[in-house]
A and B are shown apart, each in its own frame.
Chain A
Amino acid sequence: GAVVSQHPSWVICKSGTSVKIECRSLDFQATTMFWYRQFPKQSLMLMATSNEGSKATYEQGVEKDKFLINHASLTLSTLTVTSAHPEDSSFYICSGGSGAYEQYFGPGTRLTVT
């Protein structure tokens, strides 16, 4: 149980375009979903926390107008990277659960912006 999926697993896009990443909890309802970004050989950095039906809470330094998060249901959250640039290339990981101490991670999405 407690499986989280992400789609796509890898995406390449051109600079200036927008990319949407989906995060789904397959066998449980995630009241809270987290979005992380991980650069090579770096730690996971929390970008934002979202609760179903509410606006996401963004961490300091994360541009909420650039990284749009929608948590429309208890099983689906989306992250849209708007006007992506090469510096946005990273590994984006979502997790879902009932709280930070009980969260299940997705397999991640590798974004490459050319």
Chain B
Amino acid sequence: QKEVEQDPGPLSVPEGAIVSLNCTYSNSAFQYFMWYRQYSRKGPELLMYTYSSGNKEDGRFTAQVDKSSKYISLFIRDSQPSDSATYLCAPGLDDKIIFGKGTRLHILP
């Protein structure tokens, strides 16, 4: 089983829709959980990070962590064409982050 798994997509949704991006992980020792956004041929940009189970909201973005299920989600409300990118989930342990392959998201105008 891979350490971090994401559906690669692409996921296409109409502008304004709520987007749900999901990720599972296998190592129960992961201590913190991050979501990065990566535009084509660019470096990743940190969107959200959290250390515990539950929800964390920042603007249109909500990160949800369920440690008992080893399941991480990112919700995007009122999606915009500019949200079209690849979203990487990245749980971490000590000083190391393990990146998922990412889910490609297309927001259709």
State whether B97 touches A107 (Cβ < 8 A).
no
Task: Tell whether A99 is near chain B: CB-to-CB under 8 Å.
Answer: yes
Task: Tell whether B7 is near chain A: CB-to-CB under 8 Å.
Answer: no
Report B-chain residues with C-beta under 8 Å of the C-beta of A106. 43
State whether A44 touches B32 (Cβ < 8 A).
no
Q: How far, in Å, is A57 (CB) from chain B's closest CB?
A: 10
State whether B101 touches A41 (Cβ < 8 A).
yes
Interface bits B82-109 vs A (CB < 8 Å: 1, else 0): 0000001000101111011110000000
Task: Tell whether B34 is near chain A: CB-to-CB under 8 Å.
Answer: yes
Q: Known: A43-B4, A108-B43. Contact between A100 and B101, CB under 8 A?
A: no
- Closest-by-CB residue of A relative to B101 is A43
How many residues on the B side are at the interface (Cβ–Cβ under 8 A)?
Answer: 22
Report B-chain residues with C-beta under 8 Å of the C-beta of A99. 95
A-B contact pairs, 29 of them (CB 8 A): A4-B43, A41-B101, A43-B4, A43-B88, A43-B99, A43-B100, A43-B101, A44-B44, A44-B88, A44-B99, A45-B99, A46-B97, A49-B95, A91-B41, A93-B44, A100-B92, A100-B94, A100-B95, A100-B97, A101-B32, A101-B49, A103-B97, A105-B36, A105-B43, A106-B43, A107-B42, A108-B41, A108-B42, A108-B43
Partner-B contacts on A (CB < 8 A):
4, 6, 32, 41-46, 49, 91, 93, 95, 99-101, 103-108, 110
CB-based closest 10 A-B pairs: A105-B43, A43-B99, A44-B99, A43-B101, A100-B95, A100-B97, A105-B44, A107-B43, A108-B43, A93-B43
